[in-house]
Structure 1
């Protein structure tokens, strides 16, 4: 029996999924931040913890893994791979492939040979694969390098919006009370002074306050989410144009928690418009399974195994990592 592992290393969590050659899930693991750009030692520890948790659940050793496929946030440039390859080998992986996390989202979200993936989780990223196998990534490097949004930036937008409403630069916003409750303050002035005096950081969870406020029609929340959609649409269009996909039939896969858990079209709407303008034959689809499943399928394919309909059906329906069932290993 041959065994395969997929790993999804994101900016806030890392998942590992282990299966046999028939697609039976044997083990899974979960840990924290797997992005080396925010701390290589921490990322290595997270990837290792998730992998060995999955191995322990399956009763296997790392040496038993025929191939592992790691889709990692921050795997963007040669400089990143020069850090990641020694890191992954130090953990003990021997037969493995590393890609950026958009590619496993794309693999999990479409059966077409080409397409585009948009990530909006802790950060944002866009990447695509053309019919002739070329890849192109647009963004993934933070605001200074052209990006906008993701949980690690929208949390700041929420905080700024509340402060600007408090000091009179903007209209009152429904974001104020939920943010005060989340952070534990009675008044905005108290929050302002405490953050300023002690150099505090806004937690990622603040970004999620945008969705209930938008559902109640809050103009500030709607504007922020709309801008997020416009920016992701621009990134998708850039990938499409760079890869010459304007006339192709393909899927644009939306992945990441801010696109798959909470958005009611506020972000997706502008994306759909931008994609339609750039490639009229393309379809925008929301990822309905965990990206780590795409990593497992990629691991199988790297070893020459065709992902059959049977394998697809065993994994593609899972939208919640914790809900993926474990199959008893057969020797």
Structure 2
């Protein structure tokens, strides 16, 4: 029997999923931030911890795994791979493939070997592969390099919107009360001064406050989410045009918690419009399983195994990670 391991390492969590050659899940693991761009030591710890948990649950050793496929946030350029290969080998992996986390989201969301994927989680990313196997990534860095949004930017948008409403530059917003509750303040002025005096940062969870406010018609929340959709639509269009996919039939897979958990069309509607204009034959697909499933399928395929309908059926809606505790690293 052959065994395979898929790993999805993102900016806030890392998942590992282990199966046999028939796609039967034997082990799973979870840890924290796995993006080396925000700390290689922490990323290595998270990847090792998640993989070790999956191996422990299965009763297997790492040297018994035929192939590991790692979808890693921050695996963008040669300079990243120059860091990642030694890091992954240092953990003990010898038979492995590294790719960006956008591509495992794409693999998890479509039955075709080509298409486009958009991620909107802690950050944003867009990438695609055409019929000829040519790959292109658009963005995935930060605001200075053309990106907008993701939880690591929309949290700041929420905070500054509340500040601007408080100081009179914008109209009142429904974001104010939930942000104060989240951060533990009675008044905006107290929050404002405390953050200024102590150099505090806004937690990622603040981005999620946009969805209930938008559902109640808050103009500021709706504008932020619409801008996020417009920006992701531009990224999708750029990938489509760069890969000459305008006349193709393919899926645009939406992944990341801000697209799959909470959005009611505020972000996805502008994306859909941009995609239709760029490639009328494309279909928008919201990822219904964890992207780590795409990493596991890619691990099997890297060893020459074709993903059967039975394997698709077993794992298409796999969602069993939220109940796995995450260990907090002690420095």
TM-score under structure 1 normalisation? 0.97
Is the Cα–Cα contact under 8 Å of residues 289 and 320 in structure 1 kept in the other structure?
no
Q: RMSD of the TM alignment (CA)?
A: 0.9
Determine the C-alpha separation between the residues in 1 that align with 2:260 and 2:322.
Answer: 16
Determine the C-alpha separation between the residues in 2 that align with 1:323 and 1:252.
Answer: 29
Please state how far the C-alpha of 1:321 moved relative to its aligned partner. Answer: 2.7
Is the aligned partner of 1:220 residue 2:217? no
Is the Cα–Cα contact under 8 Å of residues 11 and 73 in structure 1 kept in the other structure?
yes
Query: What residue is the counterpart of 2:264 in the other structure?
Result: 264
Determine the C-alpha separation between the residues in 1 that align with 2:322 and 2:50.
Answer: 13
Please state how far the C-alpha of 1:71 moved relative to its aligned partner. Answer: 0.2
The SS at the match of 1:173 is: coil
Please state how far the C-alpha of 1:223 moved relative to its aligned partner. Answer: 0.1
Query: What residue is the counterpart of 1:329 in the other structure?
Result: none
Determine the C-alpha separation between the residues in 2 that align with 1:322 and 1:13.
Answer: 11
Query: What residue is the counterpart of 2:300 in the other structure?
Result: 300
Is the aligned partner of 1:77 residue 2:77? yes
Determine the C-alpha separation between the residues in 2 that align with 1:119 and 1:79.
Answer: 22
Structure 2 gap segments, 5+ residues each:
325-331
Query: What residue is the counterpart of 1:248 in the other structure?
Result: 248
Is the aligned partner of 1:50 residue 2:50? yes
Please state how far the C-alpha of 1:112 moved relative to its aligned partner. Answer: 1.2
The SS at the match of 1:213 is: helix
Moved over 3 A (4+): none
The SS at the match of 1:305 is: coil
Query: What residue is the counterpart of 1:130 in the other structure?
Result: 130
Matching of residues 271-290 of structure 1 within 5 Å? 271-290=271-290
Query: What residue is the counterpart of 1:193 in the other structure?
Result: 193
The SS at the match of 1:321 is: coil
Is the Cα–Cα contact under 8 Å of residues 70 and 295 in structure 1 kept in the other structure?
yes
The SS at the match of 1:34 is: coil
Please state how far the C-alpha of 1:320 moved relative to its aligned partner. Answer: 4.2
Determine the C-alpha separation between the residues in 2 that align with 1:112 and 1:156.
Answer: 37
Query: What residue is the counterpart of 2:206 in the other structure?
Result: 206
Please state how far the C-alpha of 1:35 moved relative to its aligned partner. Answer: 0.2
Determine the C-alpha separation between the residues in 2 that align with 1:147 and 1:126.
Answer: 10
Please state how far the C-alpha of 1:113 moved relative to its aligned partner. Answer: 2.1
When residues 323 and 248 of structure 1 are mapped into structure 2, their CA distance, relative to the original with a 3 A threshold, is: farther
Please state how far the C-alpha of 1:318 moved relative to its aligned partner. Answer: 1.8
Matching of residues 1-331 of structure 1 within 5 Å? 1-322=1-322
The SS at the match of 2:299 is: helix
Please state how far the C-alpha of 1:317 moved relative to its aligned partner. Answer: 1.8
Determine the C-alpha separation between the residues in 1 that align with 2:113 and 2:98.
Answer: 19
Please state how far the C-alpha of 1:180 moved relative to its aligned partner. Answer: 0.1
Aligned residues: 324
The SS at the match of 1:5 is: strand
Deviations 1:256-301 (A, max 9, x none): 0000000000000000000000000000110000000000000000
Please state how far the C-alpha of 1:323 moved relative to its aligned partner. Answer: 7.3
Determine the C-alpha separation between the residues in 1 that align with 2:323 and 2:134.
Answer: 35
